[in-house]
Structure 1
C-alpha cells in the first residue's frame, strides 16, 4: 500500500513511452518527491532527497572527465535519477558511467531530444501532486476511522482488526503492558514462559511497529508476512494514526486498572494492618473483586534492594536527572510487573498490593508443608533470577507462616517483614528467607530495640564504633566480615580482597580496642550477638 510515487511510476506516464532506461534498474522503485533542472555542476546543496534531475547534457559534456564524480555526488545528495537528453551532446553515455550507475543504484534515463523540459516537468509534478493528494485523503480517512473507534469505546480487538483491514496485511498486536496477544479477534494471554518465548521469536523475525508515547512502549504491531529485514516505511503514515488509537485505548485501560488497583491496595492494606476485624467484612469486600479466601493463607513480601537509595541519588530539579528518574520509574514498573507475572504463574489465585518499591502477596495453598516449601523456594528463586538478569537489580523475599483465617494474615505479614530485615542482616541482599527458618534471629528480633539490649551492644562494640568515627577508619566493617567468616582471618582476607597481614594487623588492633581475647568462644559469641543487634538497628 504505497503512498508515494516511484521512478518506475513516473516512467509509466503515457507521454514518456519513448523514454529509455539506460542504467539503474534496481533503483526504479525509489521514491520521487520532485523534479528539477540541472544547469550547473553543483546542484547538491539544495537537494532534499528524492529529486529527479532533468538535464540537456551540456554540464556533463563540459565536465565529462568529472562525470563519474558528479554521479556519485548526486547519489550521495539523495537525488534518485538523471533524465538526460543524450543525443544533444553525446552520441552515447560512456559505458563506464552506466556501469557505475548500476553499481551504486542510480537511474539514468534517456529523454527524446525533441521533448521540451516543460513537457517532462509538468506531467511529473502532476503525478506527484496527485499521489500526495490521495495520500492526504487516505490519511484523513484512516484518522477519522480510528478517532471514531476511540470515541465509540471499541475494544482492542476491534482496533487491531481495523488496522489489518486497512493494511490488507496479516498482523497481530502484542500488548506488552498487559501481556496479551490480539490476532484475528482472538485474545491470547501471554503469562507463561512458552508464550513469551513465541512472542520474542516473532519480534526477532518479523517486521514490527512500536506502540507507545515518547520513550514508553505499550506493545508492537507485528506484520506476520513481512520479514524483519523488509521495511514498512510506506505504512508509517497510517500506523501513526493506529498508534494514537492504541495509545488512547491502553491509557484508558491503565486508568481503569489503576483505580481498581487503588481499591485493591486499600483492601489488602487494611488486611495486613489488622484494620478488618471480622470474616464477614473480609468476604463482603473480597466479593467486589471476585476474590475468595478459602484455603490456608500466608504473606510474602518482595522488596527491591537499594531502590530508594538509587532514586534519591538523582536530583529532580535537574533536567537530565528528571529523565533518569523517569527511566528508573519505568524500570520499576516493568520489574514489578514481571514479579507479579512470575508469582501468578505459581499461585494463580494470589492477590497483591504494591507499596512503593515492594509487593505484598497473599498466597493460598492446600499443599503439604514440605511440598509447599519447595514450591515457595522455586517461586522465589525464579523471581530473584529474573530481576537480577533482566534489570540489574536484586530483591529480598520474606515469607510468613500460613494462617488458617484471612483475619489473622496480618501476623504472617509481620513475620514476612521480619524475615526480610533479618535476611538483609545475614545476606545483605538478593536473599530469600522463610520465617520458620529464622532460628535464633527470631529471638533477637523480639529484643533488638530493647534499651538494655542496646546497652549490651554498646558495651561490647561501642569502642570500635567510636574509634571508626574519630579516626575515619573501617575496623567495624572488618570485624563484621571476620565474624561472618567464622573468625577465619585467611578467608576474611580473600573475601575482602586484602592481604592476610593487613587483616591480621586489623584483628590485633580490634582486640586491643575491645580489650577482648577473641580466641575464646564466649567472647566471640558476645561480640557476634552485639554485631547482629547493631546491624538490625541500622
Structure 2
C-alpha cells in the first residue's frame, strides 16, 4: 500500500469536484467518467489551449479546455489524463463539439479506472464565468474556514478556562472536524509510549489498523507530525508538547484528504491539549506534594491519629484497621528521576496501588515509593502482590532492580511509624541477601535482622574464616560451592541425610561421603550441637557479606 506523507498539511482550503458541479455555470455539465473521484479537492482552476500545458499545471487544479490542442490526435487523451492524475489534478472539464466531437472510449475507461473526473461542460458558458465562480467559491470557503477556525479555537479555549479535561478536548476536536463529513472521523490522543489515552468518534483499530503496531500502539516513528495519505485513508498528526511529556493528536478520515484549515484545527487542538496536560501536571504535582507531606508526617509520627484520619479522607485514604507498610526502594546507586519520568512513575505506582486497594495511602519520595495497604484479618498479603507492584517501577520488559520491603501488620494508625521502620529494615537486609529476590518481608528476616547490625569488622571475618575454613571464600570454585550447598541443606533438614539426598538429587552413599569430607574440614558437626550452631550463623554471615559482593 502506497503512503504519501507531507511534513505539514499542505492542502489549502478547497471544494470537492462534486461541490464545484453544483455551481450555476456547471449545472448543465455531464460527468463522463471518474465518478469515484468526485471527492477530489479543487484548490484552483486553469485553462488549456496549448499542447505543452503539463509543465504549467499544479496539484488540485480543475483544468478547462476546448480540446483544441488535441484536435489532431484525440487518442493521445488517454495518456494525457494519466499524466494529469500523476500530477494530482482534480479533474478535466471539456467543451465538446467545437474541436472534438466525442472522447475516446479508451480514455473514459482509463478515467474510471483511476477515479479521475472527466466532465463535459456547457459550450454556451464562457470560461471566464466558470473561472470566476470557481475562484469565488474557493475564496468564500477560505474565508469561512478562517472564521470557523477562530470559532473552534475559542471554543477549545473555553474548555480550558472552565476546567475541562483531555476527554472533553478530544471530543470537541472530533466534533469540529466532523462538521461536513459523510462518514466518520476518529480523533485520538497517543501518549509518549504510543498507547491511546482517549479516543473519540469510533474504534481506532477498525478505522486505521495500518498506523498501529502489534500491541495496538501508535507508530509514531513511521507517522510523524503532518498529513499521511494511505490509500483511501487520510491521517493527520499534531504534536502535543507538554512539560516533561510528549504525545500526538491523531485524526483519521476515509472520505477525502485533510485540508490545511482542518490541519490547523487539529494543531490548535494539540496546543490546547498540551495546555490541559500542563495544567493537570501542575495540579497533580501540588496534590502529590500534599499527599507526600501528609504520609511522611504519619509515618514519622508527627501528626495525631484524629488529624491524620481527617486529612487522609480528603485524598480518599482509609487508614483505619490493620495495615501493612510497603517500601519499594531504588538501588543506592540509582540516579534521581526528574520531570516527566518521575511524574509517570508516580502515576503508575499510585494507579497500581489504588487498583489493588482503593483506600490505600500512597506517595513517592526521592528514592522510594510507599504504600499503606489494608491487611484483612491481620494477614500480610501474598508475596505475589508485592512482586506485581514492583513491575510498574521497572522499565518496560525489565525487572525492578530495587528491593520491596514489607512490614509486619500494624494494628492501628499509631503503629504505622514502627511498621515503616520495619519495611526499611527489610529493604536494608534484603540488599545484603539474594540478588534474585525483589521482595523482602520483615517477618522472614530471622537471624539476618541481628547480623545486619554487626559492623563488617575484622573480628566478624575472622569468625567466618575460623568456622567455615575453605567454605568461607566467594563463589566460583565448583567443588567448594557444592560442599557449602550440601552443608546448608544438611543443617536446614536437621541432619536428615535421606531428605538432604532427595533435595540435592544425590545417591545416599554419595551424600555420606560428602558428610565425612565436611567433618574432616569443619569438625564433628553431626555430633556437636554448638558447632552446628556456629556453622549455621557463619553460613548466614557468608550469605550476607560474601555471597553477592
TM-score above 0.5: yes
- The correspondence of residues 120-519 of structure 1 with structure 2, limited to 5 A, is 120-153=130-163, 202-205=203-206, 213-214=240-241, 216=245, 233=258, 236-272=263-299, 274=300, 276=302, 278-279=304-305, 282-283=308-309, 285-286=311-312, 289=315, 291-303=317-329, 308=334, 330=340, 333-356=343-366, 358-369=368-379, 372-374=380-382, 377-384=383-390, 391-395=396-400, 396-423=403-430, 426-428=433-435, 431-447=438-454, 449=456, 452-453=459-460, 478=476, 483=481, 487=485
Count of aligned pairs: 454
Alpha-carbon separation, structure 2, partners of 1:292 and 1:198: 33
The 3-state SS of whatever aligns with 2:398 is coil
Alpha-carbon separation, structure 2, partners of 1:66 and 1:307: 75
Q: Indicate the residue corresponding to 2:545 in structure 1.
A: 533
The answer to whether the 8 A contact 1:307-1:357 is kept is: no
Alpha-carbon separation, structure 2, partners of 1:44 and 1:407: 85
The answer to whether the 8 A contact 1:518-1:524 is kept is: no
Which is greater in Rg? 2
The answer to whether the 8 A contact 2:240-2:273 is kept is: no
The answer to whether the 8 A contact 1:52-1:80 is kept is: yes
Q: As a proportion of its length, which structure holds more helix? A: 1
Cα distance change on mapping 1:24 and 1:240 into 2, 3 Å: same
Alpha-carbon separation, structure 1, partners of 2:79 and 2:340: 50
The 3-state SS of whatever aligns with 2:410 is coil
Q: Indicate the residue corresponding to 2:129 in structure 1.
A: 119
The answer to whether the 8 A contact 1:424-1:431 is kept is: no
1:22 aligned to which of 24, 32, 55 = 32
The 3-state SS of whatever aligns with 1:367 is helix
Alpha-carbon separation, structure 2, partners of 1:64 and 1:520: 107
Q: Kindly state the Cα deviation for residue 422 of structure 1 after the two structures are TM-superposed.
A: 4.5
Q: Kindly state the Cα deviation for residue 12 of structure 1 after the two structures are TM-superposed.
A: 0.8
The answer to whether the 8 A contact 2:160-2:276 is kept is: yes
1:333-366 CA distance string (max 9 Å, x none): 4454233222212211111111246411112333
Q: Kindly state the Cα deviation for residue 17 of structure 1 after the two structures are TM-superposed.
A: 2.0
RMSD: 5.0
Q: Kindly state the Cα deviation for residue 130 of structure 1 after the two structures are TM-superposed.
A: 0.8
Q: Kindly state the Cα deviation for residue 280 of structure 1 after the two structures are TM-superposed.
A: 5.3
- The correspondence of residues 53-64 of structure 1 with structure 2, limited to 5 A, is 53-60=63-70
Deviates more, 1:21-30 or 1:348-357: 348-357
Alpha-carbon separation, structure 2, partners of 1:217 and 1:281: 39
Q: Kindly state the Cα deviation for residue 101 of structure 1 after the two structures are TM-superposed.
A: 1.7
Q: Kindly state the Cα deviation for residue 37 of structure 1 after the two structures are TM-superposed.
A: 3.0
Cα distance change on mapping 1:256 and 1:80 into 2, 3 Å: same
Q: Indicate the residue corresponding to 1:106 in structure 2.
A: 116
The answer to whether the 8 A contact 1:276-1:282 is kept is: no
Cα distance change on mapping 1:429 and 1:354 into 2, 3 Å: farther
1:91 correspondence with 2:85 = no
Alpha-carbon separation, structure 1, partners of 2:199 and 2:152: 31
Alpha-carbon separation, structure 2, partners of 1:29 and 1:286: 59
Q: Kindly state the Cα deviation for residue 82 of structure 1 after the two structures are TM-superposed.
A: 1.8
Alpha-carbon separation, structure 1, partners of 2:72 and 2:471: 91
Cα distance change on mapping 1:171 and 1:63 into 2, 3 Å: closer
1:389-430 CA distance string (max 9 Å, x none): x82232243211122343442332333334345545555357
The answer to whether the 8 A contact 1:305-1:430 is kept is: no
Alpha-carbon separation, structure 2, partners of 1:430 and 1:42: 76
Alpha-carbon separation, structure 2, partners of 1:61 and 1:532: 97
The 3-state SS of whatever aligns with 2:358 is coil
The answer to whether the 8 A contact 2:378-2:409 is kept is: no
Alpha-carbon separation, structure 1, partners of 2:483 and 2:326: 30
Alpha-carbon separation, structure 1, partners of 2:535 and 2:478: 11
Structure 2: which 5+ runs fail to align? Answer: 1-11, 192-196, 209-234, 487-516, 524-533
